[in-house]
Amino acid sequence: WQNAVLGLMMFAASFGALAAVLSICGVLTTPLPKKIYYYHSAALSTTVALIIFPVAIEHDLKLLSHHYGTGYGLGWGGTIFFFAAAL
């Protein structure tokens, strides 16, 4: 089960990195349809990462207590802004 949790954490981190790359591509492109595509894809990647991360934390039985800091809330705020930018 520890390998599964490690895999989920790596999956979430890779989707977070993918979202960062997609948002940078969205900033650097000039055609509006491409910007919308990149921002929408970044929002979906960030959403997947933010859903997978707590699932991985909940499955780690070594942690007796845990809390999500302000970074988790800021991640959801960024996701909302990505969706708003795509609209």
Residue at 86 is within a domain: no
Q: For the chain, give the percent of residues with pLDDT over 90.
A: 0
Over residues 24-34, the mean pLDDT reads: 84
Q: What is the model's pLDDT at position 10?
A: 79
Residue 34: pLDDT above 80?
A: yes
- When the pLDDT of each residue in the chain is averaged and rounded to a whole number, the result is 79
Distance, CA of 73 to CA of 41 (rounded, Å): 20
Residue 25's domain spans which residues?
2-80
Residue 63: pLDDT above 70?
A: no
Residue at 85 is within a domain: no
In the chain, the number of structural domains is 1
Q: What is the model's pLDDT at position 26?
A: 82
By CB neighbour count within 10 A (0-12 exposed, 13-18 middle, 19+ buried), where does 21 fall?
middle
Task: Considering only residues 51 and 62, tell me which one the structure prediction assigns the higher pLDDT.
Answer: 51
